[in-house]
């Protein structure tokens, strides 16, 4: 079976209305993207938590998938009327052939080398190195598959610095990947915390799949701890807000690892955390920074 992929040019005022109208008219799926994605004109619209949303791209593309027999000319005209447009906008149509979507999706996620001894391996792949420390992890609802530079930076720091027996707090645990890696690298006890209940579920599942034992909590349920290593891969604004709490969770002489920080934001975060830590930029990758510090005694 084939489908029709519809692409309509829109703007910040009409994109979401057109998308909603197309769903009402039988679209199987809808997505909105920056019309200038991948060019110098690409527009950043996603802010930090606590900042007002920036909205939709000024120049957008509304993508919709329809069955092969759908009358797209009539559908676009009706959607334009519902959106209050004076005329139907120009659109493009591409025929999408039937494919094995599961296999296509899985092909995008190959094993990821983190270091010579540490790999992330999806369940449908054989490990490239069975003697390595292999984190078995599939893409899911929670952030943290190892493909993003911030996750890799934290994993590489853990790989370099875990000596064995450490207590670790992974704040903003997402998929649980950092907590699981810490345990597989030799940490003694690990606690993960996340504000998203789905992240907690994903972390518990992934820990079981990797045959390690960690405890995962929502913030209000988490115990007060003092640990050897605090790791937080979140974003700049929440990291600054959480600084006193994360500092209190680190033992005197303990370590902290922070990522989710754009390189040009690193100085702002360092200025906050230097109230409690001797801290510097530990590493950078693809415009992201990883900070590492030692709790002052």
**What would the pLDDT profile of 47-100 be if each residue is shown by its tens digit?**
544 444 455 688 899 999 999 999 999 999 999 998 888 888 989 999 987 655
Domain boundary (76, 98, 120) is at 98
Three-state secondary structure call for residue 133: strand
Among candidates 193, 146, 168, 194, which has minimal Cα distance to 250? 168
Among candidates 4, 17, 73, 8, which has minimal Cα distance to 35? 8
In sign, the C-alpha dihedral spanning 262, 265, 270, 275 is negative
Among candidates 51, 55, 3, which has minimal Cα distance to 29? 3
Decide: 148 and 287 in contact? Cβ < 8 Å.
no
Supply the pTM of this predicted model: 0.68
Confidence of residue 106 (pLDDT cuts 50, 70, 90): low
Question: For residue 72, what is the domain's CATH number?
Answer: 3.30.70.120
Domain boundary (68, 98, 128) is at 98
Locate 259 and state its tokens: 């990522």
Domain assignment of residue 241, given as a range: 107-295
Q: What is the pLDDT of residue 83?
A: 84
Q: What is the pLDDT of residue 48?
A: 47
Higher pLDDT, 172 or 46: 172
For the chain, the C-alpha Rg in angstroms (whole number) is 23
149 shares a domain with 37: no
Please report, for residues 33, 142, 199, 239, 261, the alpha-carbon distance to residue 196 in angstroms, rounded to integers and kept in the order given.
25, 8, 5, 16, 20
Confidence of residue 279 (pLDDT cuts 50, 70, 90): very high
119 shares a domain with 45: no
User: Distance of alpha carbon 188 from its chain centroid, rounded?
Assistant: 27
- 101-105, 112-116, 195-199, 276-280: range with highest mean pLDDT: 276-280
Among candidates 189, 190, 191, 294, which has minimal Cα distance to 252? 294
Separation CA 159–CA 214 (nearest Å): 18
Q: How many domains does the chain have?
A: 2
Q: What is the pLDDT of residue 18?
A: 93
Please determine, for residue 189, whether its predicted confidence score (pLDDT) is greater than 50.
Answer: yes
270 shares a domain with 135: yes
Separation CA 138–CA 104 (nearest Å): 14
278 shares a domain with 185: yes
138 shares a domain with 205: yes
26 shares a domain with 123: no
Domain boundary (49, 81, 98) is at 98
164 shares a domain with 114: yes
């Amino acid at each position: 079976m084939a489908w029709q992929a519809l692409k309509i040019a829109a703007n910040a005022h009409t994109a979401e209305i057109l998308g909603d109208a197309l769903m009402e008219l039988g679209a199987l799926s809808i997505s909105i993207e920056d019309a200038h994605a991948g060019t110098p004109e690409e527009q950043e619209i996603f802010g930090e938590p606590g900042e007002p949303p920036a909205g939709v791209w000024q120049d957008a593309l509304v993508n919709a998938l329809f069955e092969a027999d759908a009358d797209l000319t009539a559908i676009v005209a009706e959607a334009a009327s519902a959106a209050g447009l004076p005329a139907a906008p120009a659109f493009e149509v591409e025929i999408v052939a039937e494919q094995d979507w599961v296999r296509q999706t899985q092909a995008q996620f190959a094993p990821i080398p983190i270091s010579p001894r540490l790999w992330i391996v999806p369940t449908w792949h054989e490990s490239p190195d069975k003697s390595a420390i292999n984190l078995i992890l599939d893409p899911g609802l929670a952030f943290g598959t190892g493909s993003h530079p911030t996750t890799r930076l934290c994993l590489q720091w853990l790989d370099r610095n875990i000596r064995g027996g450490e207590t670790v707090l992974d704040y903003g645990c997402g998929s649980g990947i950092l907590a699981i890696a810490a345990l597989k690298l030799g940490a003694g006890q690990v606690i993960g915390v996340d504000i998203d209940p789905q992240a907690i579920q994903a972390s518990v599942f992934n820990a079981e799949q990797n045959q390690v034992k960690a405890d995962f909590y929502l913030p209000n349920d988490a115990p007060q701890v003092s640990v050897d290593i605090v790791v937080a891969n979140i974003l700049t604004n929440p990291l600054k807000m959480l600084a006193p709490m994360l500092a209190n969770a680190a033992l005197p002489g303990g370590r902290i690892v922070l990522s989710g920080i754009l390189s040009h934001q690193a100085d702002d975060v360092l200025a906050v955390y230097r109230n409690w830590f001797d801290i510097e930029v530990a590493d950078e990758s693809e415009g992201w920074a990883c900070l590492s510090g030692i709790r002052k005694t």
